[in-house]
């Protein structure tokens, strides 16, 4: 990727590597939609540039108002990130609230944000349509997300498709800031892995914590088996051929099984003679095996939370240094200094 340079960005202009940034809210258990949509692509990118990944705890205050739960969820999410392969020697893993400057940038950006831009955001519309009574934080969430991205001069933002619009809002706000106050902020790009941009849940809708249709990454074996064996399928008799392309079981299997196993299942679908119970069993076994190394690593990390705390703390210092540089430019440009 060509890294563009622009005046005003002190360190960004000299940077040769691309900067990658993404965040996850510590609002509950991680599911395989989060994993394949965002976490796995993000972890891969740690080898391609300077990666910053954070636990979006300010964001989750819009829905979690239990301090113990928030602290625990944050630690669990950091542990999960590390268990899934985030290498702290390559990527900076920190807690959003350890860099409070981001809320200042959010305020400054909010003064440039037209209300209709936020009213248009699908995620907000979706939540209110489902009966959630919105607080102001939920409404202005995309502005804080823009601040998260812009404060680290990010180039690439790996996310699932549902976050694309928020990255577009970020681009608009950065451009608006630059037009108003002079070139100051770097314009980022969303990076969406098309094959896994929307992982379906157990009911076939997008997998989401809010839809209660998730397959958790680290479920207990029995619970996982029960969920997968409970997937509703059509009533095609065992002996008849079945269409893999419309099957949720096959779609999920492609995420976790290797190529030869996928081809074998596809053939069995088309040939007939195999029932859905058998396909679901294969799916369960593959999900279980796929996450086995991560489960083992997670058990080690869980036994040593001080190690995780240490990583979060030292990474936050690095993140904060960068944020402070951006804020110097922003304050100067806006006339605050
Ligand atoms: P949820 O919908 O379960 O609350 P989040 O909104 O916290 O999930 O999403 C966290 C990250 O995971 C985002 O980058 C989002 O785009 C991605 N993600 C969430 N669900 C899916 C899915 N079903 N398929 C692909 N990516 C997803
Ligand atoms: N909004 C994202 C989500 O719900 C989390 C998030 C917050 C984020 N700030 C971000 C993602 C900045 C990417 C970049 O999943």
Report which ligand 2 atom has the smallest distance to the Cα of 21: 14
> Are 286 and 187 found together in one domain?
no
> Are 66 and 171 found together in one domain?
yes
Pairing of strands 156-158, 189-191: parallel
> Are 96 and 118 found together in one domain?
yes
Q: Is residue 299 part of a domain?
A: no
DSSP-assigned states of every residue in 226-251: HHHHT-------TTS---GGG-HHHH
pLDDT tens-digit readout, 215-240: 999 999 999 999 999 999 999 999 99
> Are 95 and 145 found together in one domain?
yes
| CATH classification at residue 153 | 3.40.50.620
Structural domain that includes position 99:
12-199+304-334
Distance 145 CA to ligand 2 centre (A): 6
pLDDT value at residue 168: 98
- The average pLDDT across 193-198 equals 93
Q: Is the CB of 59 under 6 A from ligand 2?
A: yes
Q: Is the CB of 148 under 6 A from ligand 2?
A: yes
- The average pLDDT across 6-20 equals 63
Q: Whose CA is nearest to atom 1 of ligand 1?
A: 208
Q: Is residue 206 part of a domain?
A: no
Predicted TM-score (pTM) of the model is: 0.92
Query: Which residues does the annotation mark as catalytic?
Result: 127, 206, 209
Distance 315 CA to ligand 1 centre (A): 24
pLDDT value at residue 337: 79
pLDDT value at residue 48: 95
pLDDT tens-digit readout, 31-52: 999 999 999 999 999 999 999 9
- Note whether 108 and 334 are within 8 A (CB): yes
| CATH classification at residue 260 | 1.10.240.10
Residue 130: pLDDT over 90:
no
Report long-range pairs for 297-304 (Cβ below 8 Å, ≥24 apart). Answer: 297/82, 297/83, 298/79, 298/80, 298/83, 298/218, 301/79, 301/82, 301/83, 302/79
Report which ligand 1 atom has the smallest distance to the Cα of 22: 14
> Are 160 and 193 found together in one domain?
yes
> Are 149 and 185 found together in one domain?
yes
The beta-strand segments (E) located in 89-246 are 91-95, 156-158, 189-191
Distance CA 45, CA 38 (A): 11
Distance CA 58, CA 64 (A): 10
Q: Is residue 1 part of a domain?
A: no
pLDDT value at residue 315: 96
Distance CA 113, CA 177 (A): 10
């Amino acid at each position: 990727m060509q890294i563009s340079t622009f005046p005003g960005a002190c360190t960004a202009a000299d940077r040769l590597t691309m900067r990658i940034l993404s965040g996850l809210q510590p609002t509950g258990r991680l599911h395989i939609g989060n994993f394949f949509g965002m976490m796995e692509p993000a972890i891969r990118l740690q080898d391609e540039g300077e990666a910053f990944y954070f636990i979006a705890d300010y964001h989750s205050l819009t829905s979690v108002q239990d301090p113990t739960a928030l602290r625990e969820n944050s630690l669990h999410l950091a542990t999960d990130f590390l268990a899934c392969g985030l290498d702290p020697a390559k990527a900076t893993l920190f807690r959003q609230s350890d860099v409070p400057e981001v809320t200042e940038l959010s305020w400054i950006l909010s003064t440039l944000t037209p209300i209709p831009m936020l009213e248009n955001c699908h995620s907000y519309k979706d939540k209110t349509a489902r009966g959630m009574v919105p607080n102001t934080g939920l409404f202005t969430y995309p502005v804080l997300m823009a601040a998260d991205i812009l404060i680290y001069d990010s180039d690439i933002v790996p996310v699932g498709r549902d976050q694309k619009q928020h990255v577009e809002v970020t681009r608009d706000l950065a451009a608006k800031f630059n037009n108003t106050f002079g070139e100051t902020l770097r314009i980022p790009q969303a990076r969406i892995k098309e094959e896994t941009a929307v992982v379906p849940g157990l009911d076939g809708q997008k997998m989401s914590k809010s839809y209660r249709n998730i397959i958790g990454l680290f479920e207990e074996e029995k619970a996982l088996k029960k969920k997968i064996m409970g997937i509703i399928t059509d009533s095609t008799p065992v002996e008849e051929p079945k269409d893999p392309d419309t099957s949720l079981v096959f779609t999920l299997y492609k995420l976790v099984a290797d190529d030869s196993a996928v081809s074998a299942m596809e053939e069995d679908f088309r040939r007939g003679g195999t029932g859905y119970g058998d396909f679901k069993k294969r799916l369960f076994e593959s999900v279980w095996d796929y996450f086995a190394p991560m489960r083992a690593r997670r058990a080690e990390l869980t036994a040593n939370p001080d190690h995780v705390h240490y990583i979060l703390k030292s990474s936050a210092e690095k993140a904060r240094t960068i944020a402070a540089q951006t804020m110097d430019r922003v304050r100067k440009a806006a006339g605050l200094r």
